[in-house]
Structure 1
Amino acid sequence: MNVPNLFDIVIAGGTVIDGMRTPRYDADVGVIGDRIAAIGNLTTAPRRLTLDARDRIVAPGFIDVHTHDDQAVLHEPEMPAKVSQGVTTVVTGNCGVSAAPLPARAELPMPLSLLAEAGLRFGTFADYMARLRASPSSVNVVPLVGHSSLRACAMARLDRAAEPEEIDRMRQMLDEALEQGAFGLSTGLAYPTASAAPTAEVIAVGRALREHGALYVSHMRNESDRVEEALEETFEIGRALGVTVLISHHKIGNPRNFGGSARTLPMIAAAMKRQGICLDCYPYDAGSTMISTDPDMLDGRVLIVTSEPYPEHAGRDLDDIALQWRVGKQEAARRLQPGSAIYFLLSEDDVRNIMRFPDTMIGSDGLPGTDKPHPRLWGTFPRVLGHYCRDLGLFPLETAVHKMTGLTATNLGLTNRGAVIEGYAADLVVFDHVTVGDLADYRAPKRASAGIDHVLTNGSVTWTGGSHTGRRPGCILRRREKAVAARPA
């Protein structure tokens, strides 16, 4: 270890968990500029600032692999929901929905209308990237391009398969976005904006992915009765394109399907031996998406998050609203549309099985910009560290950190990120492993988590002493020339 003459920051007296599943060890971490300059005994080393990490864990900053923060990084650039959890990087543009490219017209169908800030929709991906560079946030951004967004640009109606000339237009826009630095293409084949798109359309649009070494990221066509069929379609698309597939928020919905992870996880593990596949999940037994009238979606508790025609009902149960209106749940849901809701349709046992699966990454899938969001927006990462790792003993702390950092950085193809290693970017979090935990719940979903002491993004302190510093050192990340290589079929 070469000790420089002067550190900008020394994180002193902590226990390092490096993000690569190496056993923890005690060391100081010295930062110069935006890089980790030294790891070891730095007791006598000169520094401008010391951050006390005694009895604390020093880990890589968490990478939120599944977000809808496309516009949040611009209209709420301090990103308190994420920084307060120790998140230093967010992946945007998931589920087929991205802020760019996107038509400027006022009316967009759900879920595209969740991108409510019309002034923060961008006709080209280059325009979006330029705005991100001109107005950085407190977190790094890994942008994806949404298939539904491409469809909205190329097609007047989205309730049909694309014509050849529309596919050509989408493929051209995707290629331009990948040239600009997009990490891949996401789909939301379960949504009305893309459910009419056949497998062949997705493959035809995605042809540019292989040339760029980019990812195919999918909210699959079904996560309930036909989840196994949807997995096979997802694998098929990855094989046809010759790229790595990322299965978004893997889950199995509805009580009649509880226990389904015992079938899907072996399917995924077997496919991983043949091709490049990775997956993520969120640590809750309830999901959140647009308000639906599908009886399957209403087979359980439904908590309304937003409703354009009835905003006063945000935070109320659909059962109570239906009772007040003296109508059935399906009719109440129809009246509340468009909007978003939380659905309690998952098995806790399946959630734990999926999270425990060695290759599962962690993503929040939170929807920003609402008064009553799903608590996962503010609580995901401390919930894994506290509730699932420490309290339930689902896996060791080194494994928990790996699922949020090194594993994700490797799968995304990030360079010198996701690990506490000399020369790597100084994206770091210092937390108390005894007290860390989520405080956000369904009644108070915007409460900052406990136990997060310090957060650094690119060597700049963004969170310390329970509050935001106001700094916005985030940048747009670039992928390696090739992301994780797809395994040969």
Structure 2
Amino acid sequence: MRSTTPATRLILAGGLLVDGSGAAPLRADLLIDGEVIAAIGDRRDMPADVPVLDVSDCIVAPGFIDSHTHDDGYLLVHRDMTPKVSQGITTVVTGNCGISLAPLVRSEVPQPLDLLGPARLFRFATFQSWIDALRAAPAAVNVVPLVGHTTLRVAVMDDTDRAATAPEMVQMQALLTEALEAGAFGMSTGTFYPPAAHAPTEEIIEVGLPLRSHGGLYATHLRDEADHIVPAMEEALQIGRALDCLVVFSHHKLAGGNNHGRSQETLALIDQAARLQPVCLDCHPYPATSTMLRLDRVRIARRTLITWSSAMPAAQGRDFADIQAELGLDDEQTLERLAPAGAIYFLMDEADVERIMRHPLAMVGSDGLPFDQHPHPRQWGTFTNVLRTLVRERGVLPIETAIHKMTGLAARHYGLADRGLLRVGYRADVVVLDPARVTDRATFEQPVQASEGISGVWVNGQRVWDGQCATGALPGEVLSRAPRHA
């Protein structure tokens, strides 16, 4: 079911067009007609009866593509997608880190699947049924869906603390095939997490075999992003070669003080691999990450902030170290008192973050956890944080490069044939922003705050953000992938 909002006809006049390709900005007018960009040039050559919006003090860019999200369930519950459209995002990639909402029906789910939202959302026995739900009640943004290997394991196996048997791998293959035929762009893994930690490389390759015939991609939250990151990366590259598919290194980072500076090593490995096989990465601009509460992360982080705790709700927003001191317990006992819980870990180095963000294969992905009660600010501010800190304040990236990473580069990697660039005939996913004012307001202390300086966002030609709030339009689509080599 598509939105019934009347088709848009609008000229965005006088803006500085940053077209998503990485090319230098160009001042021009842009005509939106229905769902597409109908013309780019001089408005005097465009139809005279079309309304004109003066954006001469602004940048006009393609809508931003959030390359790494966990919005699978949020799309169904909060269809206006305010955390995303308020920072210029028009498309979200779901099902990352091995966890997708479908195919799985459970009244209770193990961590980290609970990061996707309450158990009642896990009601889709097939990937197609989830896709059908998104199409019946579309959100404000487009969706690029992935299916999670961890979800497949939980759906099929009675015990995930072991490798899958041959019959179980056949069942997972069948579920993956169904998902790919329903529209999944590929499969993700999260062998860092308990439900998939016992899956050997051979299992992932065997389960992932349908990716070959369907042209799907492989996105991975590595087994280790700390001391053993290089072997973990080599495993992912081996899987990509075996399945003849693109490898996406999710939220690429170096965790813990022992590994600060090693991005030079890991990015060199990516450069070497890219000469032999398709590979890319996503990242965000913060020196902190967020996931379930884990002792191994607590012990290498310089600070751990609790985002939620089922056993101790009052811990939300407090530092783990303060809670530990208050309780008079060791770290293991403190974790037992808090679990299940989520946390933000300050364990990355700013120089690594900037180096990774500058890499030519690096896309921008928020990796936000939308149902966290005290979320990481990346859910509300990743893209505007890049524009504020890395572009305007530090000069790490020129504006056209930053927007390329948010748009055209991501569209190319994910096979979105008619999005990610300002081109005549492309779908009208467009953002208008004030380069002098655009800023994230979400902080670690107050993370639920909309950005400033995003004055308008259009998805498939309909305005979903008016500069102050979501408009209520729900024109998002579940997207289809183009052939990998198209």
TM-score (norm 1): 0.96
Offset, 1:115: 2.9
- What does residue 163 of structure 2 align with? 161
For 1:73 and 1:7, the matched residues in 2 are separated by 24
Which amino acid is 1:166 matched to? E
* SS of match in other structure, 1:89: strand
**For 1:66-118, what per-residue CA distance to the aligned partner results, in whole angstroms no more than 9, with x for missing partners?**
000000000000000000000000000000000001132x2221001223333
Contact 2:297-2:345 within 8 A present in 1 as well = no
For 1:396 and 1:312, the matched residues in 2 are separated by 43
For 2:51 and 2:228, the matched residues in 1 are separated by 55
Which amino acid is 1:420 matched to? L
- What does residue 172 of structure 1 align with? 174
Q: Does 1:377 align with 2:379?
A: yes
**Which among 405, 412, 423 is matched to residue 425 of structure 2?**
423
Q: Does 1:120 align with 2:121?
A: yes
Contact 1:244-1:484 within 8 A present in 2 as well = no
* Closer/same/farther in 2, CA of residues 297 and 73 from structure 1, 3 Å limit: farther
- What does residue 306 of structure 1 align with? 308
- What does residue 361 of structure 2 align with? 359
For 2:28 and 2:59, the matched residues in 1 are separated by 10
Which amino acid is 1:313 matched to? A
- What does residue 55 of structure 1 align with? 57
* SS of match in other structure, 1:289: strand
For 2:485 and 2:149, the matched residues in 1 are separated by 21
TM-score (norm 2): 0.96
Contact 2:8-2:461 within 8 A present in 1 as well = no
- What does residue 87 of structure 1 align with? 89
Offset, 1:138: 0.3
Offset, 1:309: 1.1
Offset, 1:40: 0.8
Contact 1:298-1:329 within 8 A present in 2 as well = no
- What does residue 68 of structure 1 align with? 70
**Which among 228, 240, 253 is matched to residue 255 of structure 2?**
253
Offset, 1:48: 4.7
Which structure 2 residues correspond to residues 211-360 of structure 1 after superposition, within 5 A? 211-294=213-296, 297-360=299-362
* SS of match in other structure, 2:105: coil
Q: Which moved more, 1:388-397 or 1:118-127?
A: 118-127
Contact 1:103-1:152 within 8 A present in 2 as well = no
Offset, 1:417: 0.4
For 2:392 and 2:332, the matched residues in 1 are separated by 40
- What does residue 4 of structure 2 align with? none
* SS of match in other structure, 2:151: helix
> Post-superposition, which runs of at least 4 consecutive aligned residues in structure 1 deviate over 6 A?
none
For 2:143 and 2:51, the matched residues in 1 are separated by 27
For 1:476 and 1:304, the matched residues in 2 are separated by 34
Which amino acid is 1:322 matched to? Q
Offset, 1:332: 1.2
* SS of match in other structure, 1:303: strand
Contact 1:10-1:47 within 8 A present in 2 as well = no
- What does residue 42 of structure 2 align with? 41
Contact 2:81-2:139 within 8 A present in 1 as well = yes
For 1:49 and 1:382, the matched residues in 2 are separated by 28
- What does residue 3 of structure 1 align with? none
Name structure 1 gaps, 5 residues minimum: 1-5
Q: Percent identity?
A: 49
* Closer/same/farther in 2, CA of residues 95 and 7 from structure 1, 3 Å limit: closer
* SS of match in other structure, 1:468: coil
Offset, 1:295: 6.3
Offset, 1:296: 5.8
- What does residue 389 of structure 1 align with? 391
| TM-align CA RMSD | 1.4
